[in-house]
Chains A and B, each alone.
Chain A
Amino acid sequence: MTTKSTLTAIGSKPLPDDTHSCWSCGDMRAAHFCASCGKVQPPSPVDYFTFFGMPPKLNLDVAALEKDFYDLSRRLHPDLNARAGSQEQEWSLEQSSLLNDAYRTLRDPIKRTEYLLHLEGVALEEQSKAATERARATGEVKKQIVPPDLLEEVFELNMQLEELRMNKKMGEDDPNLTKEIAGHKIALEAKHDALLQELQTYWTDWDSLIERNHGSKAPAEERAKITAKMVDVLNRRNYIRNLVRDVNAALEE
């Protein structure tokens, strides 16, 4: 089931935290525009999913999202609300920029996942530092966050890439090395695809958790179990993404 966003008003019952009545006609809660009089509303501090009127699910219909985006950007365009007075124009400016951020984040599978993790309170940038501090305090050897053989692979391939670049700089050509690296390129791209597929299975786990709980918050430990798996895939992907990028650059140079 794909989620349709509701652009004009979300539900008829006011939601507890961000209840608005239209500033102009005083009618029921409105999201971006008042359901009754159609005037643009001041932006409310909501997450990007809510901004588009969707539950925080990860398998989302990107085509529908795009349609909503274009529809909303047309209607929120500051020029359209230009004569409406400076306050309304300012709101449409603010809403437009929120819209752009929300769209750019949600349409990209990786950014969308990272955003959800952020909403879930996962500090991706802090994980390594936190583990190091633990190691420092306990005197134990820090366990690397990704498997050691992945690090080994990344390191070795980087050595080869450096050799390839050196050769090219010296005007030498080592066809065997080039061929070997071209082989790696294919394998790496396949690995990258496999990681994205793995990520998608966790999306589905997540979405069914959300559905099972019908809009109320799922138990923290169940959420954390799934988000931890997503973090793990994203970490491994960072290395593979770099390698794909560097292999391509080295082969093209």
Chain B
Amino acid sequence: MSYSDKVIDHYNHPRNVGSMDKSSTDVGTGLVGAPECGDVMKLQIKVNPQTNVIEDAKFKTFGCGSAIASSSLATEWVKGKTVDEALAIKNMDIVKELSLPPVKIHCSVLAEDAIRAAIGDWKKKQETGKPVAAEAK
């Protein structure tokens, strides 16, 4: 199987690799896995509480090239979007952008899951209102 140029570019130059403080109130963390292959992905977002705009995003993926490219692209896409706009990103958008073959669709699903999980985590923190004990990491 050959990877598309866009996948290779993201794979060789992944954007936004890294992590943020999980305990911070304005950070949402999504840790998800693909049961089909056993790969895992962590995606974090930092949201401006006034505007609900995602100001920063980081990821770390242990998986195939398509999963790395999908998560790299996902962080690029969510940045600057409001959380509601980010929730509209579908795995097939990623498939199209990266020209993923059918056997790699589950890798893009992983990226959509990660976005949703990160936003879900952030929303939960907003509901509980009070900041989680400010102990870094």
Contact = CB atoms under 8 A, between A and B. Distances in A.
Interface of A: 124-125, 127-129, 132, 135-136, 139, 141-142, 144-146, 148, 150-152, 154-155, 158-159, 235, 238-242
Given A136-B90, A141-B116, A152-B31, A238 B62 contact: no
Q: Which of B39, B109, B120 has the most CB of A within 10 A?
A: B109
Given A129-B109, A144-B33, A242-B37, 11 more contacts: A127-B35, A128-B106, A129-B91, A144-B113, A146-B35, A151-B31, A151-B32, A154-B62, A155-B60, A158-B40, A235-B35
Secondary structure class of chain A's binding surface, majority of residues:
helix
Interface of B: 31-40, 42, 60, 62, 87, 90-91, 105-106, 109-110, 112-113, 116-117, 120
B31 A132 contact: no
Contacts of A151: 31-33, 40
Contacts of A150: 33
Main secondary structure, interface of B, reads mixed
A239 B39 CA distance: 7
Contacts of B36: 124-125, 127-128, 238
B38 A135 contact: no
20 contacts: A124-B36, A127-B35, A127-B36, A128-B36, A128-B109, A129-B109, A135-B113, A141-B120, A144-B33, A144-B117, A145-B33, A150-B33, A151-B32, A151-B33, A151-B40, A154-B33, A155-B42, A238-B38, A239-B35, A240-B38
B35 A145 contact: yes
A151 B29 CA distance: 13
Contacts, number: 74
Which 6 pairs from chain A and chain B are nearest by CB?
A238-B38, A141-B120, A235-B35, A242-B38, A158-B62, A239-B38
B19 to A, nearest CB: 10
A142 B38 contact: no
Contacts of A124: 36
A158 B37 CA distance: 15
Nearest to A140: B120
A145 B35 CA distance: 7
A125 B106 contact: yes
A124 B34 CA distance: 11
Nearest to A241: B38
A250 to B, nearest CB: 12
A142 B117 contact: yes
A238 B35 CA distance: 7
Residue among B90, B91, B113 with most chain A CB within 10 A: B113
